[in-house]
C-alpha cells in the first residue's frame, strides 16, 4: 500500500511538472516591451532575397538602416504591429546556444534603448540575446510580421543604404 501511494505521488508530481513546463513554454510574451519608453527605434534590414546578384564571383546584399522617432506616425504604426504579435519561450531560451536560423528573404534587427530583436523569417527570433519562438506552427507568423514591418519601411527613405559583396558565390552559408 505504501509503495502504491509513493507511485501515485511520484506520478502526480511528474504530471504537475509537465504541466508547469508546458505553461512556461507556451505562455505568450508581448513584443510591445521591445520598444523602450521614449527611445527611438533603429531598424536594420538586410535583404538576402532574390535581389541578390552575382557580380565578379561575389554575392551582393543590400543593407538599409532606418530610424523611427517617438510620436512619428511610422513609430506608432510599428508599435501597433509589435503589440499585435506575441512570442514564447522554447527549450533553446534556456540554453547557451543563441544562434538563430535565417530564412531566404531578408532579416530585421530592431534596436530600442537596450533592447534588441532579430528575426529572419523562421519561427526563431532572438530577443536580448535569447532565442524564442514566434508562432506555434511553422514560420507564417514571423513572415507576416516581418512583411508588415517592411511595408512601413518601404515607404521611408533609409538613413543609409549599402550594397556589399558578402562572400564568394557557391558557398552555402548565409
Written as nine digits, the cell of 154 is 518601404
Query: pTM of this prediction?
Result: 0.80
- The answer to whether the CB of 125 falls within 8 A of the CB of 87 is yes
Residues facing residue 106 across a β-bridge:
47
Instruction: With a cut of 50, say whether residue 100 has pLDDT above it.
Output: yes
CA gap 138, 122 in Å, rounded = 8
Residue (of 32, 116, 107) closest to 75 by Cα position: 32
- pLDDT digit string, tens, across residues 107-165: 899 999 999 999 988 889 999 999 999 988 888 898 899 999 999 999 999 988 877 66
For the chain, the average pLDDT equals 85
| Helix and strand totals (H; E) in the chain | 3, 10
Amino acid at each position: 500500500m505504501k509503495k502504491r501511494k509513493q507511485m501515485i505521488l511520484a506520478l502526480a508530481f511528474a504530471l504537475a511538472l509537465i504541466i508547469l513546463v508546458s505553461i512556461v513554454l507556451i505562455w505568450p510574451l508581448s513584443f510591445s516591451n521591445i520598444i523602450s519608453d521614449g527611445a527611438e527605434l533603429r531598424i536594420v534590414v538586410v535583404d538576402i532575397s532574390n535581389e541578390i546578384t552575382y557580380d565578379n564571383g561575389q554575392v551582393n546584399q543590400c543593407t538599409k538602416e532606418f530610424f523611427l522617432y517617438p510620436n512619428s506616425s511610422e513609430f506608432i504604426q510599428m508599435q501597433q504591429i509589435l503589440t499585435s504579435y506575441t512570442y514564447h519561450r522554447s527549450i533553446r531560451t534556456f540554453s547557451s546556444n543563441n544562434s538563430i536560423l535565417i530564412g531566404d528573404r531578408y532579416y530585421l534587427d530592431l534596436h530600442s534603448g537596450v533592447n534588441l530583436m532579430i528575426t529572419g523569417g523562421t519561427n526563431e527570433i532572438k530577443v536580448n540575446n535569447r532565442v524564442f519562438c514566434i508562432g506555434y506552427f511553422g514560420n507564417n507568423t514571423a513572415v507576416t510580421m516581418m512583411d508588415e514591418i517592411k511595408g512601413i519601411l518601404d515607404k521611408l527613405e533609409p538613413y543609409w543604404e549599402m550594397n556589399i559583396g558578402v562572400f564568394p558565390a557557391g558557398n552555402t552559408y548565409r
